[in-house]
């Protein structure tokens, strides 16, 4: 029995004797099956070719990045708080060196994930830190490929975590799409960790909105307006995206300008 990993999206599946026939996350129109077809790997095999690197991003914030890139290539974030650290979004590779490094920075008390493309090896990450809770929005429950008792499904508009962290349900890219608000981030100016529910653009001054990024399917106008409305009540000056781009100042203003630009561009 092995927990196979999808090479295209990085999702770890529940243990089976043989690799799954297909990956439902990749056959969905928001992702894709590569031209070479559906391929699988395992954690030991991935560890032979890749390693994780911990990068300091800001005071109390670290990024975890897999080198060389595997699957989608997102980064996870470790948010440090006085009441315990939260791992935001997940990677596929879980290894002893990374676990030891994160313990040296206070460990992980909880895991929260923006949407199914970044579920990755969430069960293995939880187990590595003693079975810590994994917070997922209930509207994305059907996308979980490795059911685990550590998963706690929440619903509603928001969920409060320790020390001023709040999960905000935005929808959009996925029905349960979530962002993380960190009131104490950016020296108290407030920070938003967005995954790609809100994609921080390479220009580092705007956001993108898409239903499917690889297949270029735009997000409906009402969904974009809904995202803006749902985060507008929270104060934030900086925004951290899934791939290293950061809006360093006036991120809330950038959200409003970006939404207006998007709606103009699609004629709404």
Residue 163 has pLDDT above 90, yes or no: no
The sign one gets for the Cα dihedral 152, 220, 193, 233 is negative
Q: What is the pTM of this model?
A: 0.97
**The token pair that represents 251 in the structure block:** 């991120």
Q: What is the pLDDT of residues 59-107, one digit of tens each?
A: 999 999 999 999 999 999 999 999 999 999 999 999 999 999 999 999 9
Structural domains in the chain, CATH included, are 5-265 (3.60.15.10)
Residue 268 has pLDDT above 90, yes or no: no
For the stretch 81-85, contacts whose Cβ atoms lie closer than 8 Å and that sit 24 or more positions apart, written own/partner, are 81/162, 81/163, 81/164, 81/165, 81/184, 82/163, 83/109, 83/162, 83/163, 84/109, 84/110, 84/162, 84/163, 85/109
Q: What is the reported pLDDT for 121?
A: 98
Average model confidence (pLDDT) across the chain? 97
The pLDDT-based confidence of 164 (bands split at 50, 70, 90) is: confident
CA distance 10 to 52: 14
3-state SS, one letter per residue, for 147-214? CCCCEEEECCCEEEECCCEEEEECCCCCCCCEEEEECCHHHHCCEEEEECCCEECCCCCCEECEEECC
Q: What is the reported pLDDT for 162?
A: 83
Q: Which strands make up the sheet holding 61-67, listed edge to edge? A: 51-58, 61-67, 76-79, 86-88, 110-112, 134-137, 151-154
The sign one gets for the Cα dihedral 240, 59, 252, 194 is positive
Cβ(209)–Cβ(198) under 8 Å? Answer: yes
Residue 46 has pLDDT above 90, yes or no: yes
The pLDDT-based confidence of 239 (bands split at 50, 70, 90) is: very high
CA distance 22 to 40: 10
């Amino acid at each position: 029995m092995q927990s196979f990993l999808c090479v295209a999206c990085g999702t770890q599946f529940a243990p089976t004797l043989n690799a799954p026939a297909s990956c439902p996350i990749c056959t969905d129109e928001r992702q894709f099956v590569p031209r070479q077809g559906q391929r699988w790997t395992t954690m030991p095999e991935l560890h032979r070719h890749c390693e994780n690197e911990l990068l300091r991003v800001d005071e109390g914030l670290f990024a975890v990045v897999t080198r060389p890139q595997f699957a989608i290539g997102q980064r996870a974030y470790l948010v440090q708080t006085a009441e315990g650290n939260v791992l935001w979004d997940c990677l596929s590779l879980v290894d002893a060196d990374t676990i030891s490094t994160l313990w040296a920075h206070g460990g992980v008390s909880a895991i929260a994930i923006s949407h199914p493309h970044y579920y990755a090896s969430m069960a293995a990450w939880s187990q590595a830190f003693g079975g810590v809770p994994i917070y997922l929005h209930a509207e994305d429950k059907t996308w979980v490929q490795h059911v685990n008792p550590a998963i706690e499904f929440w619903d509603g508009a928001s969920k409060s975590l320790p020390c001023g962290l709040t999960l905000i349900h935005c929808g959009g890219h996925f029905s349960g799409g979530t962002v993380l608000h960190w009131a104490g981030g950016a020296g108290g100016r407030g920070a938003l960790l967005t995954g790609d529910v809100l994609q921080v653009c390479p220009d580092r001054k705007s956001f993108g909105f898409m239903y499917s990024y690889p297949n270029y399917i735009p997000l409906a106008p009402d969904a974009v307006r809904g995202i803006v409305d749902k985060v507008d009540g929270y104060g934030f000056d900086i925004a951290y995206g899934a791939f290293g781009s950061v809006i360093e100042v006036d991120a809330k203003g950038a959200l409003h300008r970006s939404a207006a630009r998007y709606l103009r561009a699609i004629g709404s």
